[in-house]
Chain A
Amino acid sequence: MPRWLAHTIVVILLIAGISLAFARVGYAWNWAGVWEYRGLLVRGWLTTVGVSLAALAASVLVGALAAVMLRSGRPLLEAAARVYVELIRGTPLLVQLLLGFYVVASAVGLENRYVAGVLVLALFAGAYMAEIFRGGLDAIPRAQIDSARAIGLTPSQTLRLVVLPQAVRLVLPAVAGQLVSLVKDSSLLSVIAISEFTLAAQEVNSFTYSTLESYLPLALGYLALTLPLSALARLLERRFRYETA
């Protein structure tokens, strides 16, 4: 059976099952109320896209910096990066957002909740990126560095021409996967009152009292972002496997 057919069958069965469940509880759909607020949902969705992209870009920078520090061989830098990574990965994003916005951002006079939210999200994702990047750099065999040196490349040429091109290929699938998480994690930004997609759905729900009609589009809206990203991650993974085979 071809893969697309298998996927189609599974999805049809899933939809049938869900429909059946709704039919059995006799849910009375009311889409008219939610439709009135569609603009709110669309704006929320776009905010989620924007916030996620901004946080992703910033998290790549943060992660790269932390990865370099982790491998620097300087105890103080290594310790700083290690503490950052473990602290972030060991605590809930919710706590980081609340502390980051109400304490840290306020203390330094950062008023803009969008900037603060993106920064906290970037620091959060950056900790995971750091480990991904470190793994990518560690995976470059010692022999490659030796070959680069033997040819007479300088350290910066070695990094630019040999190490980074290989490391980037290695980490791209994991970075795409991390982006999927980032998109979903951005829903927590609603706790600091950023009108992203999840907050928009909460608002629509409170206006219309149509809970499922408010939250089903939410699920679909996230899937519309995450499914292509997952597909991209798998594609990159296959491509890379071919290159190193």
Chain B
Amino acid sequence: MTLTVNGKPAAIDGKVELNVTELLSVLKVEQPDYVTVELNGEILERDNFPATVVRDGDAVEFLYFMGGGR
């Protein structure tokens, strides 16, 4: 499947769907304990990560409040 991750296409070979917890690990998302995940424009509750499924064509944004900011 191919997702849009932070605005850019990201192909994940050999998977047709993943839950958000799996996605964090497959994409090796940094600092997974702190990341906020937005799926198709909606912020996900952390508790719902395991039950939320991402499929081909979905847009995912990862957001941090840590080092960045202005």
A binds B: no
